[in-house]
Structure 1
Amino acid sequence: MDYSHVRGVDPAVADALEGEVDRQQNTLAMIASENHVSEAVMQAQGSALTNKYAEGYPGERYYAGCEFANDVELLAIDRAKELWGAEHVNVQPHSGTQANMGVYLAMLDPGDKILSLELSHGGHLSHGHPANFTGKTYDVEQYEVDPETGYIDYETLAEQAEAFDPDIVVSGYSAYPRAVDWERIQDVAESVDAYHLADIAHITGLVAAGVHPSPVGVADFVTGSTHKTIRAGRGGIIMCGEEHAKAIDNAVFPGAQGGPLMHNVAGKAVGFNEALQPEFTEYAERTVANARALADTFSQHGLEVVSGGTDNHLVLVDLRPSHPDTTGKDVEEALEEAGIVLNANTVPGETRSAFNPSGIRAGTPALTTRGFDEEATREVGELIVRIVDDYDDQETIDAVAEDVQALCDAHPLYD
């Protein structure tokens, strides 16, 4: 990539940018929330729209000169409606967390009750963690997955909702490898006269492609990230029915944000257009197939895969049964040295600190973007197992690094 203009002004930043391209080219990104966008998306995000303020919404801007900003935002909205079948779409949130904030601000008062999945069981900070604004603003109670099965127990969830009487029930997760039964959770929410927010941040692209059930038209509100499995401009999105459209739009602007990042909205529009092409469905299907191949490889080598497998893009491994003295951070750090980048992660029934947990989380979206098929993904799984078994052996790390480099060379990222 050409950073010559940056280099002429700021060589230190140019060094960092070029170093990051090199790092991505020569490592395997397996953090489940990461992906590689196209050069078209990156070009849109680096466009002249970064110079433009466009507070408000198309046709109702607070500044002049927004005709092209309007064009881009309307394209993003129309394409999102086509992708997910939503009645109303707001594409302005700067992130998935701010999309969730928009829903909370629109529908809740401070002190209202949120029922959501506990972070160490696969939830997200913005669902009610005490360190997050949600935990500081609202009364939060959290449900868990069954530690024996790794699955959500919907009957227990219903009982907990009846006892807690929440104002909103949050579904959708950051480390849950199974398909979500949106209808069951909607029934739970309705039974206690609560709203249902489905956060599909991780699976936005899988839902758009029809390889995961959709909560759109089921849940009252659907939020998501636009840069994970959907591979569009970095940011967030809110979808809802027309009856909540005005409240949501007012909560995003002026409630939670000022001017939208119009260059990112342009990236969203371009990425959504790419996702409307037939080959995107093939990409999403392969992402899931690769994740299942990865889970199967781990299981064959005696690693404990949470829930026994996966229905989506991620695999969660509990190291305790097979490697009781090994932590997720041990493995994460050794893998990074070998060129495989994933993250340590808490697991159901976690007995260690969240900063040095008992599991690892691996995702396949970025590998699939690079062209990895099931066979190549199994090869990566074998390399991960080698590191898990011998994370503190430098010869093993060096040998795996050579194999990783060969895989990177065989699946180039950017020409």
Structure 2
Amino acid sequence: MNYDAVRESDPAVADALVGEVERQRNSLQMIASENHVSEAVLEAQSSVLTNNYAEGYPGARYYAGCEYADDIEELAIERAHELWGGDHINVQPHSGTQANQAVYLAMLEPGDKILSLDLTHGGHLSHGHPANFTGQLYEVEQYEVDAESGYIDYDAVREHAEEFDPDIVVSGYSAYPRTVEWEKIQEAADAAGALHLADMAHITGLVAAGVHPSPVGVADFVTGSTHKTIRSGRGGIVICDEEYADDIDKAVFPGGQGGPLMHNIAGKAVGFGEANSEEFEEYAAQTIENAQALGDRLQEHGFTLVSGGTDNHLVLVDLRDSHPDVTGGDAEEALEEAGIVLNANTVPGETRSPFNPSGIRAGSPALTTRGFDTDAMETVGDCIAQIVDAVAEDEVDAAVEDVATTVDDLCAEHPLYE
């Protein structure tokens, strides 16, 4: 990946692109929402479809010249049905947030009510945070995980729904390490006469592979990202029953977006095709095994995991018990210096600022794509523990130098984009 054409036109951008390739090759990407797509997906996303305007839907575009755009979008939809089922799928949303926006726009009026998980307890900005359009347009109340167990208390969610009487109940989360029991959220929605939006953004690939229960056929609407555990073109999807299909399509276009990003939809089509394979099912299962191995190793080092472990692709570490003087920001910064890239994250019962919280969130999808197994993940756990311990003891420099050598070895053993 030399970006020769870019270099001829714009050396500064080429330098940054090459630098990013090297950063990804030579460090461990553990942001739970990130992954490494295949070179085929990269090629599709950088295709000449970036030149194409295709407002509308296959067979009903507002511009000429959309024959091949139609073919690709139809392939993406067909393959999405093979992965997740459902009556109707819209593959045009530019992101998971815009997929959620489409559901709200189609089903709600300003001032209507949303019940969702609090951001500091593992929810998402697009579920009702005041900094997001949802918190500005709608009346939002939020449920929390149980402070002691770290699990969602589904009985409490139902009681909250009955009291609040929301129009939509939202499930699906960005920092919840346990299996989501979609049926129990559906019971809460039914008790309030509300619709149910299941946002599977983080676990889209795990659901596709059958290693996490699917919300399709349970919730009224299912949204997801297409670039996290599913490793496809960057963007989002909406899955719904046929009765909502026209409303959703109108809410995506022209309601919330103009022309679809057809080059990204090409990436979705290629990635969805790759995910329709036994190899991808094995990958998804290994992703969970790797996260569990990482979590177990961190617990052996004395770290506290929210909920005591994980059922999916991420572990959420609460540093307050094991390292009370180390913030998530402190840990994130030192780990990145050593070549381990993850993020500071709020934890249930957060006592610090969201900008420098008490936890760290680590994911296994990208490392699993590189071929890491459970033994390698245990080594990564040792490295994380060594750095965080060093932060607590104010001995970061020596630890960073030592861990960086191990990271170099791991990257060499599991090469990326050769």
Look up the match of 1:337. Answer: 337
- Cross-structure match for 1:405: 408
Does the residue aligned with 1:40 lie in a helix, a strand or coil?
helix
2:228: which partner in 1? 228
Amino acid corresponding to residue 132 of structure 2 in structure 1: N
Per the alignment, residue 264 of structure 1 pairs with: 264
Q: How far apart in 1 are the matches of 2:371 and 2:290?
A: 11
- Does the Cα contact within 8 Å between 1:80 and 1:86 map onto a contact in 2? no
The 3-state SS of whatever aligns with 2:115 is strand
TM-superposed deviation, 1:87: 1.1
Q: Which residue is equivalent to 1:117?
A: 117
Tell me, what secondary structure is at the counterpart of 2:202? coil
Q: Given residue 377 of structure 1, which amino acid in structure 2 is its aligned partner?
A: M
Residues of 2 paired with 1:87 and 1:338: CA distance?
47
Are the counterparts in 2 of residues 177 and 307 from structure 1 also a CA contact under 8 Å? yes
Equivalent residue number for residue 41 of structure 2:
41
- 1:166 — aligned with what? 166
d(CA) in 2 for partners of 1:225, 1:2: 29
What is aligned with 1:395?
A: 398
Q: Secondary structure at 2:198's aligned position in 1? A: strand
Taking the TM superposition and a 5 Å limit, the aligned residue runs for 1:2-401 are 2-391=2-391, 392=394, 393-401=396-404
SS at match of 1:320: helix
SS of the residue 1:202 aligns to = helix
| Distance across 1 between alignment mates of 2:299 and 2:88 | 42
Secondary structure of the 2:201 match is coil
1:331 counterpart letter in structure 2 = A
The letter of the residue matching 1:412 is P
Local SS of the residue matching 2:213: coil
Structure 2 distance, partners of 1:155, 1:395, is: 49
Contact 1:315-1:363 within 8 A present in 2 as well: yes
Q: Structure 1, residues 347-394: CA drift from partner, whole Å, max 9, x if none?
A: 000000000000000000000000000000110011000011002420
Counterpart Cα distance in 2 of 1:367 and 1:208: 19
Bigger CA drift: 267-276 or 385-394?
385-394
Residue deviations 1:303-359 (CA, integer Å, cap 9, x gap): 001101000000000000111111000000000000000000000000000000000
User: Deviation string for 1:118-169 (max 9, x for gaps)?
Assistant: 0000000000000000000000000000010000000111111111000000
SS in 2 for 1:74: helix
Q: CA RMSD in A?
A: 0.5
Q: Provide the secondary structure at the position in 2 that maps to 1:321.
A: helix
CA distance in 1, matches of 2:18, 2:226: 24
Say which SS state the counterpart of residue 331 (structure 1) adopts: helix
Amino acid at match of 2:275: A
Report if aligned partners of 1:73, 1:269 keep a CA contact under 8 Å in 2.
Answer: yes
CA distance in 1, matches of 2:217, 2:153: 23
The alignment covers a number of residue pairs equal to 415
In the alignment, the residues of structure 2 paired with residue 31 and residue 43 of structure 1 have an alpha-carbon distance, to the nearest angstrom, of 23
Secondary structure of the structure 2 residue equivalent to 1:317: strand
2 CA distance for matches of 1:9 and 1:72?
A: 30
Report the Cα distance in structure 1 between the residues aligned to 2:398 and 2:75, rounded to whole angstroms.
52
How big is the shift at 1:191?
Answer: 1.1
Amino acid of the structure 2 residue aligned with 1:41: V
Which whole-Å CA distance do the structure 2 matches of 1:369 and 1:385 have between them? 23
Counterpart-to-counterpart distance in 1, 2:10 and 2:89: 39
Contact kept, 8 Å, 1:331 with 1:387, in 2: the verdict is yes
Structure 1 distance, partners of 2:300, 2:12, is 46
**Do 1:274 and 1:280's aligned partners in 2 also have CA atoms closer than 8 Å?**
yes
| Distance in 2 between residues matched to 1:30 and 1:331, nearest whole Å | 13
Give the aligned residue type for 1:201: A
Output the CA distance in 1 between the equivalents of 2:271 and 2:155.
38
Q: TM-score normalized by structure 1?
A: 1.00
Amino acid aligned to 2:241: G
* Cα deviation, residue 62, structure 1: 0.2
For 2:188, give the aligned amino acid: V
Letter in 1 for 2:373: D
Return the alpha-carbon distance in structure 2 between the equivalents of residues 191 and 144 of structure 1. 19
Displacement of 1:2 in angstroms is 3.2
Give the partner amino acid of 2:56. G
Q: Which amino acid aligns with 1:152?
A: I
Matched AA of 1:411: H
For residues 163-197 of structure 1, what are the alpha-carbon distances to aligned partners after superposition, in whole Å with 9 as ceiling and x for unaligned? 10000000000000000000010111011110000
Deviation of the 1:277 alpha carbon: 1.2
Paired residue secondary structure (2:321): coil
Contact 1:302 1:322 in 2 (8 A): yes
Amino acid at match of 1:409: A
Structure 1 residue 60: Cα displacement = 0.6
SS at 2:405's partner residue? Answer: helix
